[in-house]
Chains A and B, each alone.
Chain A
């Protein structure tokens, strides 16, 4: 799990649990609207809330952790800058 900033400046979390083929392999945990409960949405449904750099970070991290490309896994989570 990692913390990220949404385009509107609010903080959110991302949870990586599986490869890209799994629609819930990357899930965004978004702050609740107006003090409501947090919402969990698949990455594909939350793309518009993110900065493009963050989208790249999440998908590449997911591929490094769970993908078939033989990429080197990160030494520590959140390493890519």
Chain B
């Protein structure tokens, strides 16, 4: 029988949080520096040819829908801005870094990113500046699950079995069997990677809004919970037999009306071709 663990014990003794490539860390630091220029970011991305190439492929994907082909990182940075390029660099590297072999989880994460963008664009309770980060919230929200799978494979299997047998949400089974859930571990990993605080808070609160420490980010976290639900309802769940429950306060915080939902889902379904392309480009 596995023993529930304290998160600090888990992260010190069991799980080794992986590091992001140095280039990515450097770009993250640059973008958070108010004195940073577009040219500095372009130079940093270009310094790693593999990351630069993957980033350019993402820039030219159907998801971004640019009318012109972008051939250089410099052009991409000017066109999309520093934050979007930073997020593209995360997208290009994070699943490589985590060495995830779970195709369904990657597809779920990418789908959630696409659903998030559709939802955030239409969310009345979400400031417009979060639109450009919407995809990355969805992409990264379940990174904690990958760590469980890698470092606690036996407990991870027990979690899956408990979810199937008892029809309970995965985070609930994780708390019972491992002692912490993937949202908390994902939050700690995002913090270690020095991702922007917004991302850290949104990952923490995507199953329980109270876990989101920044009140201003709660509507975004709530919207992520709904994106997660939409993907599961579409059969694009992180694991087979996934059960996602959305609390009442999530619907209230996100603020979508029933009349808006058909239009939102229509836009999500229309974006489906970009999901397959992004999954290929993300690996």
Which residue numbers of A lie inside 8 Å of B, CB to CB? 20, 44, 47-48, 50, 52-53, 55-57, 59-61, 63-64, 67-74, 80-81
Contact = CB atoms under 8 A, between A and B. Distances in A.
Interface in B205-242: 226, 229-230, 232-236, 242
Interface string B236-265: 100000111110000100001011011001
A59 B261 contact: yes
Contact of A53 (B229, B259, B262, B272): B229
A64 B235 CA distance: 8
A37 to B, nearest CB: 25
Nearest to A49: B258
A22 to B, nearest CB: 13
B6 interface: no
A53 B251 CA distance: 9
B151 interface: no
Contact of B269 (A69, A73, A80): A69
B259 A56 contact: no
A57 B242 CA distance: 14
18 contacts: A20-B262, A20-B266, A47-B259, A47-B262, A52-B256, A56-B229, A56-B230, A63-B234, A63-B269, A69-B272, A70-B272, A71-B236, A71-B272, A73-B235, A80-B232, A80-B233, A81-B167, A81-B244
A48 B272 CA distance: 28
Contacts of B232: 80-81
A59 B265 contact: yes
A60 B272 contact: no
A17 B243 CA distance: 26
